[in-house]
Amino acid sequence: MKQLKLTGFVIFFFFLTESLTLPTKPQDIDDVRITKKFIEDNVVYITIIAFAQYIQEASFEEVEMLVKAMKEYRDRCLADMTLPECSKLANDVLLENICAMEGLPQKYNFSHCCHKVDFERRLCFLHNKKAEVGFLPPLPTLDPEEKCQTYKTNKESFLNNYIYEVSRRNPFVFAPTLLTVAARFEEMAETCCEEQEKANCFRSKAEPFIQYLKALSSYQKNVCGALLKFGPQILQSINIAVLSQKFPKIEFKQLTSLLEDISSKYDGCCGGDVVHCIRGRSKVMSHICSKQDSISSKIKECCEKKIPERGECIIYSNKDDRPNDLSPREAKFTESENVCEERDADPETFLAEFLYEYSRRHPELSTPELLRIAGVYEDLLRECCNSQTPPDCYKDAEKKFNETTEKSLKIVQRECEHFQNLGKDDLKYHYLARLTKIAPQLSTDELTFLGKEMMIALATCCTLSEEFACVDNLMDLVLGELCGINKNRSINPTVDHCCKTNFAFRRSCFEGLEADKTYVPLPPSQGLFTFPPDLCQAHNEELQRKKDRFLVNLVKLKPELTEEALRSSLIEFTNVVVKCCQAEGPEACFEEEFPGSLEEHVHCLLYHVRVV
């Protein structure tokens, strides 16, 4: 699999919120048959994905029991489709089987979901998913030789166990993505187990699709969070912006038709309905390929591929060239005398067409920025169309659009200056401290993850020609991770306000946040600042994680500390680790450096750097 290209790739994945209705048009009949066969052939993986995402605590043996039941269901329906159970939605059958597993609902505390039916049951299982997976045991790691021996001895069980472990740790990733990851993992195992240097082979080949999975997990959580918090209209706007940039020659009428396929229903993918997700992607890609001459010149080879490779190829394809006759701006939205009349006739379509025209003319802008421009335009017309001379009011619309983009550009420039001045490590510590101060209620694991992701976004984008769009898109995805999926998720009043008030402008909202004034630091818990015996055996990456956690926990305990004091504390922590790990008795050295209680540990450390 090719190395993931974050710019463009992540942006276009906003588009892949799969439509969920079964294809019925005559030209799609063949794709229906192919998709149906694909689902039948992959019923084991599909069942594992759904069960492991819904009930993350379930054991692999329990998942295997459900797989057996669903294979029997498939075989019964293939033999006789007139059976009453065969007319049910596959996801409903799966949930019925989960609820019917003896003792399982009580064991994993989802009995309340099983007492509900239809949509309410599906919604309950969705809310049962946990984005924070620290409660799961560490991902099992095997020596490459042992891994290959297990693979060769029982290939099916080995691959099933892999997709089970990945699925339950990524409960909001869409099924087509996980199926792609499973296929890539099988290819990797097949290749690397024949190599002499197995460990190096696994390491080099795993990295690209680990990044692929991570990027899509972030995107898909962001999309589902947008849907649940703001409703389908925001997803419609996202799709218009992304598709118009990707396919600038598509006609608005044709785009509207495509959006009907994409936007008809989103609850299946976000709710974990794996069968509808697979069908939905197939339908969308069939639509694009059936009209490729009028949509894009870049996807011909992609459309010749089979499911599911076709979809991935289209995603990776380059943006199409802008039409030569495309004017710099569309006059009908800012220079026409009849703007207000056209808007009033059909507000939704009028504003959608504005977003389409502006997006296809501005490939350099991020998706969130295009949504901000659309919001500014909508507010401007609301004001102007109530004035005495509307044309005089909205004639300066372009000026307002440019002002909006300038504000966003300044944020990105400031962030990239931080990156250039601080470097990766200090930039990460800056974000760890800042995020912990504004959202100290989040777990240490969440905060260390978010801080690292912000650093990666800037390290990825700040040297690129398309710096603005890249930074703005990726940083917005990190904020999507912070805000989460669940509509009822609450962190603290100021963070909740930014997460729930305006999707397009949440970046600027977060930019203005200060330390949470409602936070009361908890007393240090046992183990918060202790030095475990294996600290000196930790590899560089593991030691870095411990330093990140140390910094976050220190900010949680002492949120009033300045960045300078925190940086000095971190340097002192590193120096102590280096000194004691070189001593004959590391534990005795740590005890000598930081004797006494946990609170004394912290005060001692702060005393070392003269900040208390």
CATH assignment at residue 558: 1.10.246.10
Q: Which long-range contacts (CB under 8 A, 24 or more apart) does 158-164 make?
A: 158/189, 159/185, 159/186, 159/189, 160/44, 160/45, 160/48, 160/60, 160/63, 160/64, 160/67, 161/60, 163/45, 163/48, 163/49, 163/52, 164/48, 164/52, 164/60, 164/63
Q: Is residue 69 part of a domain?
A: no
Closest CA to 455 of 482, 420, 407, 484: 420
Q: Is 268 within the bounds of a domain?
A: no
Within a domain: residue 570?
yes
pLDDT of residue 154: 92
Residue 559 lies in a domain: yes
Per-residue pLDDT, 266: 64
Q: Which residues contact 484 (CB under 8 A, 6 or more apart)?
A: 131, 221, 225, 499
- pLDDT for res 450: 95
Looking at the fold, whether 556 and 487 belong to one and the same domain comes out as: no
- Answer yes or no: is 449 within a domain: yes
In terms of domains, do 500 and 447 share one?
yes
Query: For residue 587, what pLDDT is reported?
Result: 78
| pLDDT on residue 13 | 37
Closest CA to 439 of 497, 488, 485: 497
Is position 302 within any domain? no
Q: Which residue has the tokens 């990776």?
A: 316
Q: Tell me which residue has tokens 């009949």.
A: 29
Report pLDDT for 527.
55
Please give the tally of structural domains in the chain. 2
Examine the domain organization and report whether 490 and 550 are in the same domain. Answer: no
CA 208 – CA 199 distance, rounded (Å): 15
In whole angstroms, what is the distance from residue 73 CA to residue 579 CA? 63
Query: What are the pLDDT digits (tens) for 386-400?
Result: 999 999 999 999 999
CA 191 to CA 205: how far, in whole Å? Answer: 10
Out of 512, 542, 565, a domain closes at: 512
Q: Are residues 552 and 581 in the same domain?
A: yes
Q: Which two tokens stand for residue 121?
A: 């049951």
Residue segments in the chain with a per-residue pLDDT below the cut of 50: 1-29, 597-598, 607-612
Peptide bond into 308 cis (omega under 30): yes
Structural domain harbouring 427 = 413-512
In 42-108, alpha helices (H): 43-54, 60-79, 90-100, 104-107
Q: Is residue 66 part of a domain?
A: no
Tell me, yes or no, whether 431 and 508 share the same domain: yes
Domain boundary among 477, 512, 547: 512
Q: What is the pTM of this model?
A: 0.86
In a domain, 396, yes or no: no
Q: What is the pLDDT of residue 594?
A: 67
pLDDT number for residue 605: 55
